[in-house]
Amino acid sequence: MKDFAGRIAVITGGGTGMGRELARQLVAEGCNIAMCDVSRAAMDETRRLCEADKLPQGLRITTHLADVSDEEQMLRFRDEVAEQQQTDRIHLLFNNAGIGGGGSLFTNTRAQWERTFNICWGGVYFGTRAFMPMLEKADAGHIVNTSSVNGFWASLGPTVPHTAYSAAKFAVKGFTEALITDLRLNAPHIKCSVVMPGHIGTSIAANSRKIQSDTIQSGAGQDTLSPDEIAQARTRFIAAGVEPSVLTDEAVQAMVAERERSFREEAPMTAAAAAKVILDGVKAERWRILVGHDAERLDAWVRNTPEEAYEPDFHARFATEIGWKLG
């Protein structure tokens, strides 16, 4: 698909980050947008930003509250899209919503683990199932599934357990790669791509914490950590080598806030730049879209030395080459 004008795109997790920037850039190219998110306020802001960017006449932007990990909500989202966009077909599906957290089988709860897995993997699976009939009816379609560098390297370094997110992102990558053949045989007018971003400057760290603690919709206490969250963050900081005696509740709270800020503001690539790489990849019909110089280099490192990928010094050596901040 070389041209998005007049098409209809569905974006999950359109409230912030890369989903928001995909929406803005697609709207600027004349594409209709239907987005879902768990935050109504975030989607309202995305819509406001899209409208501020001078909307082509007649273009539709619709917003839908839906949790991608719940199939019933995804089917309702699909039905709302059909009704509000007045269509029986869509052309682009961005299965983008995702969160982190719940990475340890030992120090996280099973509910946290499954929340991350069910959003990151279930969201892609239910999204694809729900919208496939509408993609089949279009003259051309493209499914864009967001994985991560953690879809080929299951690590955030030697001190951070990362099982739920990595398992889900590997599933997204394997599913999308296998889907290439299924689509070629059964629906050749639909293409698909797996997106593997490196570090992109978004609020995913803060959003994941809020979704894991159920405060994203209410907004209540969003920036104050609960005692459980403080205990889990303290465990992570101690594993990373921080001296336990300095980790008062206030210090842990401040360190978490600083990490969320620096993840967003000190990244090598912005969400807008990432969205452009993704859309250029779709236009070029690339099935494999690495986003960022760090993602491209990590792909090469893991392929070149797979047996070393989970050795403790691999992350430090890679971070030094690429300029990732450690700790």
Ligand X SMILES: NC(=O)c1ccc[n+]([C@@H]2O[C@H](COP(=O)([O-])OP(=O)(O)OC[C@H]3O[C@@H](n4cnc5c(N)ncnc54)[C@H](O)[C@@H]3O)[C@@H](O)[C@H]2O)c1
- Find the shortest distance in angstroms from Cβ 256 to ligand X: 16
Residue 116 binds ligand X (CB under 6 A): no
Compute the least distance from the CB of residue 232 to ligand X, in Å.
19
Handedness of CA 72, 210, 18, 108 (dihedral sign): negative
Regarding 103 and contact with ligand X (CB under 6 A), the answer is: no
Each residue 32-71 as x (binds ligand X by CB under 6 A) or -, in order, gives: ----xxxx--x------------------------xxx--
Instruction: Report the distance separating Cα 69 and Cα 119, nearest Å.
Output: 5
Q: Applying CB under 6 A, does 144 fall inside the site for ligand X? A: no
Of 10, 15, 126, 193, the one binding ligand X by CB under 6 A: 15
Q: Could you say which residues in the range 278-317 bind ligand X, by CB under 6 A?
A: none
List binders of ligand X among 183-212 (CB under 6 A): 197, 199-200, 202-204, 207, 211
Determine which residue in the list 25, 116, 148, 212 makes contact with ligand X, applying CB under 6 A. Answer: 148
| Residue spans of beta strands (DSSP E) within 167-282 | 190-197, 200-201, 269-270
Q: Between residues 17 and 103, which has the closer beta carbon with respect to ligand X? A: 17
Give me the residues paired with residue 11 across strands.
35, 94
Q: Which stretch binds ligand X (CB under 6 A): 7-15, 131-139, 156-164, 252-260?
A: 7-15
Burial readout 211-225 (b: 16 or more C-beta within 10 A, e: otherwise): bbbebbeeeeeeeeb
Residue 316: name the closest of 237, 238, 240, 234 by CA. Answer: 240
User: What does DSSP assign to residue 151?
Assistant: G
At position 8, the amino acid (one-letter code) is I
| Residue 11 binding ligand X, by CB under 6 A | no
99 near ligand X, rule: CB under 6 A: yes
Beta bridge partners of 272: none
Residue in 25, 32, 96, 128 binding ligand X, rule: CB under 6 A: 96
- Using CB under 6 A as the binding rule, whether residue 25 contacts ligand X is answered as no
Give the Cα separation of 119 and 109 in Å (integer): 16
Q: Are 165 and 204 in contact (CB under 8 A)?
A: no
Count Cβ atoms within 10 A of the Cβ of residue 91 and give its class: 0-12 exposed, 13-18 middle, 19 or more buried: buried
Which residues lie near ligand X (CB under 6 A)? Answer: 12-13, 15-19, 36-39, 42, 67-69, 96-99, 119, 146, 148, 197, 199-200, 202-204, 207, 211, 271
